[in-house]
Structures are given as structure tokens and as C-alpha cells.
Structure 1
Amino acid sequence: MELFVVHSTPGRDMDLVKATLPDHLAYQKQIEAQGVLFLAGPVSDATGEEMQAQGMMIYRARDMAAARAFAEADPMHSAGARSFEIRKWLVNEGSINVSVALSGQSAEFS
């Protein structure tokens, strides 16, 4: 599996974005359960202070075509509420630390 970064940008119809949000979140949950969705969430503006409806998702997929198919199937994209750009991500450096508390039913990344 390879990693793909999807940058998602809202269109001009924010009512459509809001109306599509429940289906989008259900889709994200579905592909997370399938092992496709690695991480996802909103991205701030350049100051780091304002969340301006930009989004980023990281998918695990066998190739670009498969990743694109997942992005196109997202209700936000298929309904035309948002557009997206997708890039393959070759991860060379870094680390991920995860703490899972089973009895507390929580997980933490650092």
C-alpha cells in the first residue's frame, strides 16, 4: 500500500457543503473501517488561527487510480460541494507514537 494526500477545497455553495457533511462523515467512517483512511481533518489558514473549510485526507491505496476512486466517491466531491487535488506521498522521515488506553477507551498521537 502507498499513501496519498487529498487536499479538498469547498466550492462557493456553502449550503451544499453543510448539507453534504453527514454523508461525507459517514463515508469517512466507512473507509476508515476498511483501512483506507489514515488521517483526515480541516486545515487552517496560513496564520494557523482560522479554519477556512480546507480539508486534508491521507489514504492508503494500492495506486493513484484507487486513491482517486476513493476521493471521487466521497459525497462532498461527487455532489460537487468540494473539489480535490491528490498527490502520492513518499514518506521518508519522521515517527509516530501512539498511546492506547484500553480501559479508558482512548488513543493519543504524539
Structure 2
Amino acid sequence: MKHSALFILFALLSLPVFAQEADSTAQPETFEYEWAGEKFTMQKYFIVFLKSGPERSRTEEEAMKLQQEHLAYLGGLYEEGIINLNGPSGGESDIRGFSVYNVATIEQAREYAENDPMVKAGRLAVEVHPWWLAKGSGVK
């Protein structure tokens, strides 16, 4: 009985480890949809809003260096196919820009977004939401 209890405890404690490994190879959720006689595969993407962060006090030189690192980071994610759309927003809103992440989970999108040098420095903060879109569609 004691061995059974230890085995069950070990199995339960191991679940998060196995779940994390499965996430690294997980595919985004999809479903089939028909509209106006045409079939589409809908996919769950994650839209990340980049908002003004709490740490806005930087010298102009520091801000420019962070901006270059930020653009290089996001450009690299785009090249890898992790980000599908990316860009700044206009106006005076707290939302400074957004990115559409092509990953399987909201946790993956948040992790990538929080590794942005601007977010790490506190100049930007992230807000992540799931977003369904026809797979392969573009802006027209």
C-alpha cells in the first residue's frame, strides 16, 4: 500500500513536467468552417497587445538601444514563423503596438512576449488574448 501511494504521488507530481514537454510540440487548435460555399480551416492565434509599461524614464540613448533590441527580437520571431503580424499602433492610446503569435498556447505567447527586451525593461507591458482567424489569411 505504501509503495502504491508513493507511485501515485510521483505520477501526480510528474504530470506538469510531461505537460510542459507536450506543449513544446503541441499544435495550435483548429476547426473546419464553411462560409459562402468555401471551406476554411480556422486556427487559434494569440494577439499580444504591447502597452505602455510602468518604467518610461530612460535617456534617449537608452531608449534607442532598447528599441533596436526590441525590433531585432520581434523580427527574429517573425523570421522563425512565431509571429505572423507585427507592428506599432497609432494615436495616443496605451496600446503601443501588437503582434499575432502562431503558437499552440497562451502561455507560449506570453513567454515569448515577456522575453522582449522592452518588456523586460518595463517600458512595455503585455496583454494576451486568443484570436481565431482563417489559417493562412492575410490583410486585404
Contact 2:46 2:129 in 1 (8 A): yes
Give SS of 1:31's match: helix
Give identity over the alignment, percent. Answer: 29
Which has the higher relative contact order, 1 or 2, with Cα contacts under 8 A spaced 6 or more apart? 1
Q: Tell me which residue corresponds to 1:42.
A: 88
Contact 1:10 1:17 in 2 (8 A): no
Q: Tell me which residue corresponds to 1:101.
A: none
| Structure-to-structure mapping, 1:64-79, within 5 angstroms | 64-79=106-121
> Which whole-Å deviations, capped at 9, do the CAs of 1:6-64 have from their partners, x for residues lacking one?
1111233364543311111110111112110111111123xxxx688711111111101
Query: May I ask how many residue pairs the two structures share in their alignment?
Result: 92
> 1:23 aligned to 2:69?
yes
Contact 1:7 1:85 in 2 (8 A): yes
TM superposition score normalised by structure 2: 0.56
Larger radius of gyration: 2
Bigger mean CA offset, 58-67 vs 14-23: 14-23
Q: Tell me which residue corresponds to 2:46.
A: 4
Structure 2: stretches of 5+ with no match in the other structure = 1-27, 29-43
Query: Which of the two has greater helix per residue?
Result: 2
Distance, in Å, in 1 between the alignment partners of 2:63 and 2:131 is 27
Aligned letter for 2:87? G
Q: Tell me which residue corresponds to 1:89.
A: 131
Query: Which of the two has greater strand per residue?
Result: 1
Structure 1: stretches of 5+ with no match in the other structure = 97-108
